[in-house]
Amino acid sequence: MVGIQYSVVAKFGDIVDPITKVVMRQGFVPAGEYPNNKPTLAETARTILANPKLKKGDHLRTLEQSTFHFHYKVSGEFCYMCISLPEFPRRITFEFLNDIETQFLRNRNIVLRNLLKDKMAYFNNTSNDQIYKLKDQIDGVKVVMIENFDKALEKGEALDRLLERSNEIVDSSHEFKKGSAKLKNAMLKRNLILVLILVIIALVVVFIIIWAGCGIPGWERCRPPATAPPAPPAPTVPPPTTTTAPPSPTPKP
């Protein structure tokens, strides 16, 4: 993305009329610019730099138009300016101007055109910007998170189906439990009926055996043998009784 379209370094000094060579006023005069094949942008930049309102005094500012944004930094007797597209991050343009100032103040003999060319190529490459790198990483993480979220949704649908299936199994187990209870009661009733039938059959068999052995209805063979009635007791004779005579009186002398 080519965001920075034009850049210039200007020094505060006398502005000379190109025809009469007369000093008109003081302002910022371009000391180096890049590229040289954009005369419209270069002329607009010179107009801004020559504006009497643009005076010395450290400050940063952006002038906005519909097609371009003009960013400049006044630092000491120098003004560093670049022109960028509106969508280009303002943060990068001011980092560009700060870097130009640092490199220029470090070596005043540097060729400004080459410096501006190299720095424009560097800052127009968004892969060199750490925030852009971080943004790309975040975008990558977002993509992975969205994919994981989609997979989680698919798993959620599978879990919903599994939950429905488990609910069906639970319902089936309840029905099976009810059916098994009914079956248990039916088997218990059946066993009770079988036991009752067996008891009745056993009673009938016993009755038949007794009938065959003893004879019915008189039970003659099962009665005990008749015994003679006991003899009446013999009459008892009372024992003879003896009487004693009273003693005779004795004569008195």
DSSP bridge partners of 29: 11
Predicted confidence band of residue 226 (pLDDT cuts 50, 70, 90):
low
Q: What percent of the chain has pLDDT over 70?
A: 72
User: 81 with 49: CB under 8 angstroms?
Assistant: yes
Query: Please, which residues bridge with residue 152 across strands?
Result: none
Q: Compute the distance between CA of residue 37 and CA of residue 48 in angstroms, rounded to an integer.
A: 19
- Read off the pLDDT of each residue in 187-208 and give the average, rounded to a whole number: 86
Q: What per-residue confidence (pLDDT) applies to 237? A: 60
Tokens 């790198």 — which residue?
133
Taking the C-alpha atoms of residue 184 and residue 204, their distance in angstroms, rounded to an integer, is 30
Residue type, 174: H
Q: Note whether 68 and 5 are within 8 A (CB).
A: yes
Residue 48: is its pLDDT beyond 80? yes
pLDDT of residue 175: 78
> How confident is the model at residue 51, as a pLDDT?
85
Which pLDDT score is estimated for 249?
59
Q: Is the preceding omega at residue 35 within 30 degrees of 0, hence cis?
A: yes
Answer yes or no: is pLDDT of 95 > 90. yes
Q: Classify burial at 154, counting beta carbons within 10 Å of its beta carbon; exposed 0-12, middle 13-18, buried 19 or more.
A: exposed
pLDDT, position 227:
64
- Average pLDDT over all residues of the chain: 80
pLDDT in tens, 7-41: 999 998 877 766 666 766 778 889 999 999 999 99
- Work out the end-to-end distance of the chain between its first and last CA atoms, rounded to an integer number of angstroms: 192
The two tokens of residue 36 are 């040289």
Question: Can you tell me the distance from the alpha carbon of 107 to that of 111, in angstroms, rounded to the nearest whole number?
Answer: 9
Number of H helices, E strands in the chain: 4, 5
Banded pLDDT at 114 (limits 50, 70, 90): very high
Q: What is the pLDDT of residue 184?
A: 81
* Mean pLDDT on 144-166: 72
What tokens were used for 213?
């052995």
pLDDT at 168: 82
